[in-house]
Each structure stands twice: as structure tokens, then as C-alpha cells.
């Protein structure tokens, strides 16, 4: 009998989920049949591991067939498809990562590989009980149709204790049975609630529906201003994909976005999509994995890891907020989900939609050069108007001593509260203060494991490191000189801004939104929903609030420090700052703007003077009226506090000159040969000892081969020189786009001394971080 590769030896290649790039050969037992993509259990040294039968021919080992080990088990799960296997190969080759580690991301839910176990349940089977209480009556009403129930589900639905059910079983009214696992998966209906689109949206939707129906590879950049209704437009591509019976995946950059997004999806399609991210329970992840691989689940919304799900018939990928840095994974397997979504679409032959109000430079250049189609939405949906953006020059409008909000921003907040509207204060810095020092001796609190300051989190009474997680209680005296009450906080975080807001506006309802506050993702979702309902007057948040949220009653955004991202030695600093500021100011004014007369009436009392601060009862009454009549707020504004109002990024934001910024930034990249006009590879050498890290980095630098159109910079100590106790040095490879950068790095490393002991070398193709 021939094996799956056409030879008479029953030997196959198996890729195992460990840090190796090669597949191993295994013998196939006589009673076992597998195919490329079959998921199996194989021995690997003393362990048994899950692996996948791979396409390449077996037999590269030097051992004889009689010494090859056998596959021990083949799972009944469907084989991984050929395009997914090619995708694993492609990701490993491009990012210089072991294919085994890439494949590990595909089978990261081992519980899903076996059929879900049956569960013990309850059903109606006999005569009514001798004594019929109200509790028993409720149970019998629910079970009258003879359908099976789980014990816990029946008790909860009937609002009875398990004792009531046990009593009915003892009397023979109910019986225990085995129930098939799983639950019915509601399929999204593409025609459940078609939206009413503007003419501009409709044109874009027609183009996306056509791309989905053509069943071929394409990439579309959906480029629309904040609040332009991009989600409703790309939902039409999802709808067309579902009509064809195919599957759709929508990637989101932030888990906190999923709650609101799932509701919007259900409103459009009549059912929620499956979720896939780190907060989903292992059992639920296993159910999603099974449903995806067998084709029962038609739509998945998830984080970047959803890209590696084994879809049975994937017909569309949407990458929402495609510019977001969260799509780049920097630990384990380094990859960029936006770029790999395009690769998976090309390998699978289906369309990819990239959506953003502030596209990445890479995507914009690809669109300008004709590689991607670009659909533009220039207007906000439902008559809303973009906010007016102004810069507050902190050189002229200094905050009060010990404060961080300038007088113009404080006045704008006061005016917004008088109108019963919401305001957002944005500062991309978690905690209370980024540095704590002793004013007597100058001692600074630094992380013992990292070369960074400890950040004070006053709400929790701790100093913590945001890189390794080291935490200590905030002391009441200096550990260096012993002076009591000498510690001072330097600089603001959002907790300090919240403290200032509480002093300035004690009657306002405040809410802090940050990813590191207690309560986790669930609390974050609840608070975001509360903001959307208008239950907070002033929101103080980090970059979390800049990601796609819709707060209808928000009319003012104040950026506490617009210069924060511009001081870094990052070639993408201008782009990232522009995107962040444009996104966060775009949270303002997403509801339709009221008329000038309405705004004047809202701003003043009958005698023409400024209205007094409204009471809580007045605010609640205003919100109630808004909810009944539809919100019509004041003119939306964005205020940027800055010491550099002449900086090109600040000027572009204030002037609304989006195209001017892109033209300037693209030309800058072209001149110096930075991506997307050149290529970069970041190399980090680390070790437990600084000298060991430095010596290997220097040896690597000396062994770098000479090549045309390739420059190797470094080694130099990394800006974050120590992380988690490991000393770090960086090298950077810069090349023309025409250079095979991966081949160069492979050749370089082959001629370099290997790491020894605690030394490690990591490679980051297309790096996004340079710390």
C-alpha cells in the first residue's frame, strides 16, 4: 500500500508544536489512515505531543524505518486545509520563526480535537407527582414537551433548587438521560435588518459586495473619517459572504470593543457572532474551534489570534482599525495580523477589507500604488459633523501650579457640563504619576528587574512596573535617607488628572477608563456601555478610549499632553501620534449637531448670562429628555494642550489637513528609505549578564556580511536596557525593498557565533517597536 505521498513506505511527516522548523518522520500503523492536515498524537522524546501531518515528503532522517516511531493516535477532527498549511509555512518563512511555533497557534485549543462529551440531563418521563407545589409546577411546564435539560439549566430556568428536581426524579416524574453536547448555533441572517445607507456609504457597500461575490483575492482599504459608518458598510461585505454560505472573520484590536460590536452585529444579522480572544473560557474556545473547523460557525469576531483559526470555508477577513499597533505581536511568534490577513486572503483566494479613519502609511501607499482598492467616506453618517480642533499653547496658557489642565480647557469643561453634555480628557499614561522621588535626597524609585521607573497607582496604593509587573506598596518614607513624608509624584497619569477634575468639578460624575484598573475586561465593557448611555459627565481615559467607541453625548475632547508621543526615537512617532490624536478627538460629536439657535439657547439663561452649574436632578432630566427626543448637543470640539503648536502633526490635526499630513509623511519615508519604501529587521540580543549580552551583540555586529543596499546599525544598548532582569542590546538592519532580507539574516546568523548559556537572539521582521 502506498502512503499519502505516493510511496510504499507508510511513513509521513509530522510538524510538532515546538520551536523547530522541520517536520519529523513517523511510521503509520497498519490500521490508521491519515491525510495532509490530519491532527495526530506522536511521541517526541519522553513526551507525547499533538502534531499535524504535513505535506512534505518524509525520509530525510538518517535512521532506518525500523527505528522510526509510530503515530499513536489520529483525532477525528477534520484535517487542516491546504491554504492554512501554506499559511503556516509562509508566516514561519517570512518572520524567521519555527513553523512548529506558528502551527501551535492553530491548534491552541486541544480540548476541541475530540468530540465533546455527552452530559447527564433531565427529561419528563412519568406521571405527575402526588403533591404539586408551585415550584414543581414550574418545572413540569418547562419539561412538558419532553425535551432534555441539563440539571443546572432546568433549576435556573424554573427558579427552583436542585432538591425540587431530585424529588421529581425520585417519584418517577423526571428521569436522568444522556444529552448530546453543544448548543444550537444561531446562524446570522444576511437579510435580517438591512441598513439605510447614505449615497456615499451605498457606493462603497456596492463595491464591497461585488468583491465578496467574485470569490477572488482582493484587498480594499475602507478609508473613512471617524463616525462615517464604516462598520455598516463592511457589514454588507459580510452579508454577501454569508449569502454564499461561506465564513467571515472580523478582527478587532481591543477586547473591550467586542461588547458594543457584538450588539451592533446582532442588530444587523439577528444573531451574535462567535467570539475568539484571551478572555473566552477554554470550554467556549473549544466550541468555537469545533464550529469553525466543521463549518457550523459562519462568523467570528476576535483578536489577532483569530487569524489562525482553521476555517472550513473562509470567504472574507475584515481588519477593523487596521492601523492599530495592537495587531503586532512582539512576544513568542512575531507577526503583524494586518499584513498576515492579506497573506491569508491571497493564499485562500478571498477578499480582505482593511478599515480605518487613519490608515497606516503602508496601507495608504499600497492603495496609492494600485495594489489595494481605496474606498473613501468623507462625511460623517446621520448628519453628524466633525469636531472643531484647536491647539492650546501651554507656553501662553499655563496651568495653575501643581495642576495640568490649562484655563481654556477648564473653561471648556465647565461650559460642556452646563449644557448637560459629556467631556473626555485623554492622557496616554496609566496610573497616578510616572515617577516618584524623594525631595530630600533625590532618590528615584526604579524597578529592580527593568531599567524603568516605577509608576505610582494611588488608587491601589502601589508602585508598579509596566514592563515586568513588579509591584511594591508605596512607602511613607524614603528608603535611601529615611526621611518621612518626603516622597513626591512627578508628572501626571490619568489618576492624577481625575483627582484634579474632582477638585475642580466636585459635582460632576467622573469615570476613569484604563486597561489596568481592577475588574478586568468585564468591568471595562460595563463602564464603556455606561459612558455610551450618558451616565458619566467627564471621562478620563488612556488610548483605550480612542479605539472605535461611539459615545453619542460626547461633545468635548481635551488632550492633556498632545506632545507625549512625539519625543520618542521612533521612525513612526509622527504617524502614531497623528493617528492617536485624530482617533481620540474623533470621539466627539458623533451624534447629529443641533442648530445654532439650539446651541445658543443651551448655553445661556433667559437674561443672557452663563447658566449656573446644573444640579444632579437637572442633569438626569436633561439626559431623560435627550433619550426621548434624540440627542442634539452643542458644537463638538477637540482641544490639544501642547508646547509645540507648530509641529507638523499638531498643525495638520488643527487644520484638518489629513491629506497634507499623509503626503508629507510618505515623502519623508521615501527620501530616507524607511518602510514601506525600504525594509527593516530588528535584532535583540539579551542575557542575564550585561557583559554576556554585549559580547554576543558585538560578535554579531562584526560577523554581519557585506551586501549591496544593506546597512547594519549597532550594536547599541537598547533604550529599555533591562527588562525582567535580562540585559538587552539592539541591532537594526535596513535594506532596499528589492533585497531578500530574510535570506540575508539567515546567511548572517549561519556565520555568527551561536548563543550560549543565558544568551538569546530574537529577530523582528518589520518591527513596530524600537525600545
Q: What is the 3-state secondary structure (H, E, C) of 99-117?
A: HHHHHHHHCCCHHHCCCCC
The pLDDT mean for the chain works out to 87
Q: Are 299 and 316 in contact (CB under 8 A)?
A: no
**pLDDT band at 522; cut points 50, 70, 90:** confident
Comparing CA positions, the residue from 587, 534, 580, 569 lying closest to residue 387 is 587
User: Exposed e or buried b for every residue in 47-78, given b needs 16+ CB within 10 A?
Assistant: eebbbbbbbebbeeeeeeeeebeebeebbebb
27-31, 59-63, 667-671: the lowest-pLDDT one: 59-63
Q: Measure the CA–CA gap between 97 and 762, rounded to whole angstroms.
A: 10
pLDDT at 610 exceeding the cut of 50: no
Question: H helices of 35-106, where?
Answer: 82-95, 99-106
Dihedral sign computed on CA atoms, order 719, 725, 731, 734? negative
Query: In DSSP terms, which residues pair with 14 in a beta bridge?
Result: 24, 53
Name, in order, each residue with C-beta under 8 angstroms of 600's C-beta and a sequence gap of 6 or more. none
Average pLDDT value for residue range 592-599: 42
HSE value, Cβ hemisphere, 13 Å, CA-based, for 142: 22
What is the model's pLDDT at position 55? 83
pLDDT digits (tens, 9 = 90+) for 663-700: 999 999 999 999 999 999 999 999 999 999 999 999 99
Question: CA-CA distance, 319 to 306, in Å (whole number)?
Answer: 11
Residue 446's DSSP bridge partners are 453
No. of helices (H) and no. of strands (E), the chain: 21, 32
- The alpha carbon of residue 238 and the mean position of all alpha carbons in its chain are separated, in whole angstroms, by 20
Position 7 confidence tier, pLDDT thresholds 50, 70, 90:
very low
Burial of 179 (0-12, 13-18, 19+ CB in 10 A): middle
Q: Are 261 and 277 in contact (CB under 8 A)?
A: no
Determine how many CB atoms are found less than 10 A away from the CB of residue 186. Answer: 13
Contact (Cβ atoms closer than 8 angstroms) between residue 364 and residue 662: yes
Q: List the grid coordinates of 595.
A: 442648530
Residues in the chain: 771
- pLDDT value at position 464? 94
Task: Collect all residues with Cβ–Cβ distance below 8 Å to 218 and sequence separation of at least 6.
Answer: 211, 345, 351, 352, 373
Query: β-strand 119-124 against 149-150: which pairing, if any?
Result: antiparallel
The residue-averaged pLDDT of 370-392 equals 90
**Cβ proximity of 663 and 706 under 8 Å:** no
Closest-CA residue to 223 (of 358, 337, 341): 358
pLDDT single digits (tens) 707-754? 999 999 999 999 999 999 999 999 999 999 999 999 999 999 999 999
pLDDT of residue 65: 61
Query: Using the 8-state DSSP alphabet, how is residue 216 labeled?
Result: S
CA distance 502 to 515: 21
pLDDT over 60 (residue 78): yes
Residue 597, classified by CB atoms within 10 Å of its CB into exposed (0-12), middle (13-18) or buried (19+), is exposed
642-658 pLDDT, tens digit per residue, is: 999 999 999 999 999 99
Alpha-carbon distances, residue 163 vs 7, 94, 146 (angstroms): 63, 60, 20
Confidence of residue 260 (pLDDT cuts 50, 70, 90): confident
Beta strands in 161-271 (DSSP E): 174-179, 218-224, 247-251
Could you tell me which of 319, 313, 160 has the C-alpha nearest to residue 234?
A: 319
pLDDT band at 433 (very low <50, low <70, confident <90, very high): very high
- The more confidently predicted of residues 612 and 150 is 150
At residue 353, the 3 state secondary structure works out as strand
More confident residue, 220 or 109: 220
Looking at residue 167, its pLDDT comes to 85
Matching residue, cell 501554506: 86
Residue 618 has pLDDT above 70, yes or no: no
pLDDT tens, residue by residue, 621-638: 443 433 333 334 558 899
In the structure grid, which three cell numbers stand for residue 264, read together? 451592533
Amino acid at each position: 500500500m502506498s502512503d499519502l505521498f505516493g510511496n510504499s513506505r507508510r511513513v509521513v511527516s509530522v510538524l510538532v508544536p515546538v520551536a523547530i522548523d522541520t517536520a519529523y518522520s513517523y511510521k503509520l500503523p497498519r490500521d490508521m489512515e491519515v491525510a495532509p492536515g490530519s491532527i495526530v498524537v506522536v511521541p517526541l522524546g519522553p513526551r507525547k505531543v499533538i502534531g499535524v501531518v504535513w505535506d512534505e515528503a518524509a525520509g530525510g532522517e538518517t535512521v532506518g524505518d525500523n527505528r522510526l516511531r509510530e503515530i499513536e493516535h489520529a483525532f477525528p477532527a477534520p484535517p487542516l486545509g491546504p491554504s492554512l498549511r501554506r499559511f503556516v509555512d509562509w508566516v514561519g518563512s517570512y518572520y524567521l520563526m519555527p513553523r512548529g511555533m506558528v502551527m501551535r497557534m492553530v491548534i491552541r485549543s486541544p480540548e476541541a480535537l475530540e468530540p465533546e462529551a455527552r452530559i447527564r440531563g433531565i427529561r419528563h418521563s412519568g406521571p405527575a407527582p402526588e403533591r404539586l407545589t408551585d415550584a414543581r409546577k414550574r418545572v413540569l411546564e418547562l419539561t412538558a414537551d419532553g425535551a432534555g435539560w441539563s440539571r443546572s439549566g432546568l433549576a435556573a430556568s424554573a427558579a427552583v433548587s436542585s432538591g425540587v428536581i431530585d424529588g421529581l426524579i425520585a417519584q418517577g416524574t423526571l428521569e436522568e438521560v444522556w444529552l448530546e453536547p453543544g448548543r444550537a448555533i444561531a446562524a446570522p441572517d444576511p437579510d435580517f435588518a438591512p441598513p439605510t445607507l447614505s449615497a456615499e456609504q451605498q457606493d462603497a457597500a456596492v463595491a464591497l459586495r461585488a468583491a465578496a461575490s467574485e470569490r477572488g483575492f482582493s484587498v480594499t482599504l475602507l478609508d473613512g473619517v471617524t463616525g462615517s459608518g464604516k462598520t455598516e458598510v463592511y457589514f454588507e461585505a459580510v452579508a454577501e459572504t454569508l449569502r454564499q454560505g461561506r465564513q467571515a472573520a472580523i478582527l478587532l484590536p481591543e477586547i473591550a470593543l467586542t461588547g458594543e460590536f457584538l450588539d451592533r452585529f446582532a442588530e444587523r444579522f439577528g444573531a451574535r457572532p462567535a467570539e475568539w480572544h484571551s478572555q473566552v473560557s477554554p470550554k467556549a474556545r473549544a466550541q468555537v474551534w469545533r464550529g469553525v473547523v466543521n463549518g457550523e460557525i459562519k462568523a467570528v469576531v476576535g483578536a489577532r489570534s483569530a487569524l489562525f483559526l482553521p476555517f472550513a470555508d473562509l470567504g472574507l477577513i475584515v481588519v477593523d482599525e487596521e492601523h492599530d499597533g495592537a495587531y503586532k505581536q512582539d512576544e513568542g511568534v512575531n507577526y503583524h495580523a494586518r499584513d498576515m490577513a492579506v497573506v491569508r486572503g491571497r493564499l485562500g483566494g478571498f477578499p480582505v477589507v482593511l478599515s480605518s479613519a487613519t490608515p497606516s502609511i503602508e496601507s495608504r501607499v499600497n492603495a496609492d500604488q494600485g495594489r489595494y482598492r481605496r474606498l473613501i467616506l468623507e462625511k460623517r453618517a446621520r448628519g453628524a459633523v466633525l469636531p472643531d480642533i484647536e491647539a492650546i499653547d501651554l507656553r501662553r496658557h499655563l496651568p495653575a501650579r501643581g495642576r495640568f489642565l490649562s484655563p481654556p480647557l477648564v473653561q471648556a469643561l465647565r461650559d460642556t457640563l452646563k449644557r448637560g453634555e459629556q467631556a473626555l480628557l485623554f492622557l496616554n499614561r496609566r496610573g497616578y504619576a510616572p515617577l516618584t522621588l524623594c525631595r530630600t535626597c533625590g532618590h528615584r524609585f526604579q524597578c529592580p528587574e527593568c531599567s524603568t521607573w516605577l509608576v505610582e497607582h494611588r488608587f491601589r496604593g502601589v508602585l508598579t512596573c509596566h514592563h515586568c509587573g513588579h509591584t511594591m506598596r508605596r512607602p511613607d518614607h524614603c528608603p535611601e535617607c529615611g526621611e518621612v513624608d518626603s516622597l513626591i509624584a512627578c508628572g501626571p497619569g490619568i489618576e492624577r488628572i481625575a483627582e484634579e477634575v474632582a477638585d475642580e468639578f466636585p459635582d460632576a460624575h467622573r469615570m476613569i477608563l484604563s486597561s489596568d484598573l481592577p475588574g478586568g475586561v468585564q468591568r471595562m465593557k460595563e463602564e464603556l456601555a455606561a459612558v455610551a448611555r450618558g451616565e458619566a459627565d467627564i471621562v478620563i481615559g488612556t488610548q483605550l478610549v480612542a479605539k472605535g467607541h461611539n459615545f453619542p453625548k460626547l461633545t468635548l475632547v481635551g488632550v492633556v499632553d498632545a506632545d507625549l508621543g512625539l519625543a520618542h526615537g521612533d521612525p513612526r512617532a509622527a504617524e502614531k501620534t497623528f493617528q492617536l490624536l485624530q482617533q481620540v478627538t474623533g470621539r466627539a460629536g458623533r451624534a447629529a449637531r443641533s442648530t445654532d439657535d439650539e446651541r445658543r439657547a443651551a448655553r445661556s439663561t433667559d437674561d443672557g448670562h452663563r447658566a449656573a452649574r446644573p444640579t444632579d436632578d437637572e442633569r438626569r432630566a436633561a439626559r431623560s429628555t435627550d433619550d426621548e427626543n434624540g440627542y442634539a448637543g452643542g458644537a463638538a470640539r477637540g482641544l490639544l494642550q501642547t508646547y509645540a503648536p507648530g509641529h507638523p502633526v499638531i498643525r495638520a490635526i488643527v487644520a484638518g489637513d489629513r491629506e497634507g499630513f499623509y503626503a508629507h509623511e510618505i515623502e519623508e519615508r521615501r527620501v530616507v528609505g524607511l518602510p514601506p519604501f525600504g525594509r527593516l529587521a530588528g535584532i535583540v540580543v539579551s542575557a542575564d549578564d550585561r557583559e554576556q549580552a554585549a559580547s554576543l551583540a558585538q560578535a554579531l555586529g562584526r560577523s554581519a556580511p557585506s551586501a549591496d543596499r544593506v546597512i547594519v546599525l549597532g550594536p547599541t544598548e537598547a533604550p529599555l536596557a533591562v527588562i525582567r532582569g535580562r540585559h538587552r542590546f539592539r541591532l537594526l538592519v535596513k535594506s532596499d525593498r528589492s533585497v531578500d532580507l530574510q535570506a540575508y539574516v539567515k546567511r548572517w546568523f549561519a556565520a555568527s557565533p551561536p548563543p550560549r548559556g543565558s544568551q538569546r537572539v530574537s529577530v523582528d521582521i518589520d518591527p513596530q517597536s524600537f525600545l
